Structure 1
């Protein structure tokens, strides 16, 4: 998985935590606190965006390296910013036009962008030696955001029409079926003009990639067949589960659920409420995954300092060593705020409990310019001093989905998505 590659790439270059500036933390009621967290986290995508492209840097220590997936979460965060009046509709529109005009000219591979690119030039920055071409999953996260943007900006003004038209052109140009490597019944994560299919990484579930198959089936010009979903995505040793953990049934995935971002990335736009197919009820899947992750932290079998009903959430993030995909079966004593905060739709009371702990109890070391730093470990007396786009975005978006359902409503209203979900055999109140 990409997380393993990422840990190898950045593990040796993360600097030691520096002395951090203290940022004020006003005492607020629940609703005002949610708004503050959304606004400060949104500022990563607004104030720290690359000045040329408007895209989101991978992390605060790499301002020239922009990330396609994290930027896809960021364009959704811009919609939240407009709705919450952090910015005006016109400001959001201008930023999104900057982004879309840049993406038109940036490197792409059969309509699919690379994982990383230079924020000023749009040239590919290799993610690893052979991963120097199209990244289908990261591009799926971007298209998830762009289709929501297209539905939001629905006015008949020249600028809003330009934005919608350019998104349509990019969406129509994305050759999802190319990434079946010659018509196989499965999607491949990478293709490069230099290295071809040598990464050889099929996309099979259960993980963060469901949205990739949904978008590929929804493509108006280059769709995959439903067969790729049913004979590719679901054919995995880690798809069906059905066992109970702490008395909680887990329909799909790794034992104990794996890192919590599996319940977030595909579901920033894809509404899990009532979403079902022959394999699972996706609300049950994501809710139970979250409850299992939390209960593991409460039980705390490794006796890490700080773990409790107030302090929970294991997912991929920085840690005191470098970076890892934290989960109950890969527990290094590191809590990542995005895990609990991006789970607000599934566990609102428990997520609020965690939010108040992060803000009130450890906030002096965890709260910074763009909200909560990426991760911390009380056991190792380690608090990160960095932010990561791919962890910031879900906080803004999933809190908003909990509060208003905004991104779910927009994405699920797109006619191509309705068609694609039906093609794959999904049912949902939204389609």
Structure 2
């Protein structure tokens, strides 16, 4: 059981008034050179701590599983587990949790996955061929419903395991076991099987239907999966996986000059792999030709996401220079309703992104944590956004920022199951989303002192994957 007395007491944070305005012509849309890193204001530490409590209070300490969302009933997300394995050491360093408790949580997690049942059966299994189902029952740890094996989610789990193996460097038997299991479990994934006879990594597999048609290719949230597949010490993918990933890039380029970047609508696609991989100064063949790295690409994408919200072509309420961040998020639900003289479509949980970008979908919903996940890329615009988002009435609560809000959805006569609707402030999500929560904490750790990046730069698995993908320069020298 977790001893709540081990944690710091929660401090209150006064909420300022709403930031108004949808389009500010005085705000420049140009990017320019990266701004010097700014010191984080005091209020940001409170955001981090509140957000950490999501993981502290929802984890099953017996197996390390973390729910995909809360307070709605939810299965455990393996991607969230990978994040939790990364967050426990951050919490130790910040004084939020004692080292021995973080160690015990980490070891319980790795021991569970070490012995979790694997096989072709559709029921009673936690995974197959070294991979784990995306969603697992919080108590039994076996497949939940018809959940698929997702190579992308599995990669985030493995990233957390490899980080744990690199951070827990003590000589005690417990820390030695963490190091052994962290690498060993990650190396069990049969990435050649996941290539399914081709070059691209398959995105999903189910026992009922086999591999899905979609591969992990084209810019987005799958970079970590391809790089881990190439770096595996036991079952690596064949050559060509990274080339297959890059092949569709021609359809992803947007902008000119200083705004040119590989676009992907949901902002989270520019963040998830970057939580563990320091792309600063290292480039593959494509980015050597482009003249900048993937870290700079995410900076430009962050600015593009904000610029879209400032221009606000669909005239939604609530978008502004400080209230922005369109990504995968919770939403009001499936509705087709009148808005400012037009029929508009709203959505529930799912990906969102600026129009004219891959993955485009804009229904007026802001993903509350999305901007904060870009802190290492563009702190000069993220810190003001964090201040504004925490000032939105009802959005910033016990565990930080809720999973989304929509100022335009003021339809109090509609039956909404995903949150609450106010005639004044619109729709507000009921749930917190684990991956959004994690991006706030992990990216703040990277921004403060490269907390995760400096450990992962030493990972043999990651280094092999980057080198096989053709990355050179920077810390890879």
Shorter-chain TM band: 0.7 to 0.9
Q: Output one character per residue of 1:374-403: Cα deviation in whole Å (capped at 9) or x when no partner.
A: 111112201112111121111110111111
**1:25 aligned to 2:39?**
no
Decide whether the 8 Å contact of 1:314 with 1:336 is kept in 2.
yes
Decide whether the 8 Å contact of 1:273 with 1:428 is kept in 2.
no
- Give 1:284 shift: 2.1
What residue in structure 2 maps to residue 400 of structure 1?
445
What residue in structure 2 maps to residue 311 of structure 1?
323
Choose the corresponding residue for 2:285, options 264, 278, 289.
278
Decide whether the 8 Å contact of 2:155 with 2:224 is kept in 1.
yes
What residue in structure 1 maps to residue 223 of structure 2?
210
Choose the corresponding residue for 2:389, options 353, 358, 365.
358
What residue in structure 2 maps to residue 108 of structure 1?
127
Consecutive unaligned residues in structure 2, runs of 5 or more = 1-10, 17-38, 117-125, 288-292, 334-347, 356-360, 410-425
Decide whether the 8 Å contact of 1:275 with 1:283 is kept in 2.
no
* Pairs aligned (count): 395
Cα 1:39–1:317, aligned 2, differ >3 Å: closer, same or farther? same
Give the Cα separation in 2 of the matches to 1:336 and 1:168: 33
**1:234 aligned to 2:240?**
no
Give the Cα separation in 1 of the matches to 2:14 and 2:454: 32
Choose the corresponding residue for 2:308, options 296, 303, 310.
296
What residue in structure 1 maps to residue 140 of structure 2?
121
Deviates more, 1:416-425 or 1:311-320: 416-425
Choose the corresponding residue for 2:464, options 388, 407, 419.
419
Give the Cα separation in 1 of the matches to 2:101 and 2:61: 14
5 Å-filtered alignment, 1:64-75, equals 65-75=75-85
What residue in structure 2 maps to residue 180 of structure 1?
195
Q: CA-atom RMSD, angstroms?
A: 2.0
Please say which structure displays the higher CA radius of gyration: 2
What residue in structure 1 maps to residue 109 of structure 2?
99
State the SS of the aligned residue for 1:338: coil
Give the Cα separation in 1 of the matches to 2:40 and 2:315: 30
State the SS of the aligned residue for 2:326: coil
- Give 1:258 shift: 0.8
Cα 1:63–1:404, aligned 2, differ >3 Å: closer, same or farther? farther
Give the Cα separation in 2 of the matches to 1:239 and 1:54: 41
- Give 1:328 shift: 1.1
Choose the corresponding residue for 2:213, options 190, 200, 204.
200
Q: Output one character per residue of 1:33-54: Cα deviation in whole Å (capped at 9) or x when no partner.
A: 2211111111111111124322
What residue in structure 2 maps to residue 383 of structure 1?
428
What residue in structure 2 maps to residue 249 of structure 1?
259
Q: TM-score, normalised by structure 2?
A: 0.79
**1:261 aligned to 2:268?**
yes
Give the Cα separation in 2 of the matches to 1:82 and 1:411: 18
Decide whether the 8 Å contact of 1:137 with 1:212 is kept in 2.
yes
Decide whether the 8 Å contact of 1:268 with 1:397 is kept in 2.
yes
Give the Cα separation in 1 of the matches to 2:148 and 2:401: 32
State the SS of the aligned residue for 1:323: coil
State the SS of the aligned residue for 2:128: coil
Give the Cα separation in 1 of the matches to 2:79 and 2:238: 24
State the SS of the aligned residue for 1:137: helix
Higher helix share: 1
- Give 1:125 shift: 1.1
What residue in structure 2 maps to residue 320 of structure 1?
332
Give the Cα separation in 1 of the matches to 2:408 and 2:187: 50
Q: Output one character per residue of 1:74-112: Cα deviation in whole Å (capped at 9) or x when no partner.
A: 221222111111112211111111111111232121000
State the SS of the aligned residue for 1:79: helix
Choose the corresponding residue for 1:223, options 208, 223, 236.
236
**1:346 aligned to 2:377?**
yes
5 Å-filtered alignment, 1:361-376, equals 361-362=391-392, 364-376=393-405
Q: Output one character per residue of 1:2-37: Cα deviation in whole Å (capped at 9) or x when no partner.
A: xxxxxxxxxxxxxxxxxxxxx942479943222111
State the SS of the aligned residue for 1:191: strand
State the SS of the aligned residue for 2:354: coil
- Give 1:251 shift: 3.0
- Give 1:239 shift: 5.2
Q: Output one character per residue of 1:234-284: Cα deviation in whole Å (capped at 9) or x when no partner.
A: 222x55544317x7533324xxx4110111111110112113111122022
Q: Output one character per residue of 1:307-357: Cα deviation in whole Å (capped at 9) or x when no partner.
A: 111111110100112213121112111111221100011110110000111
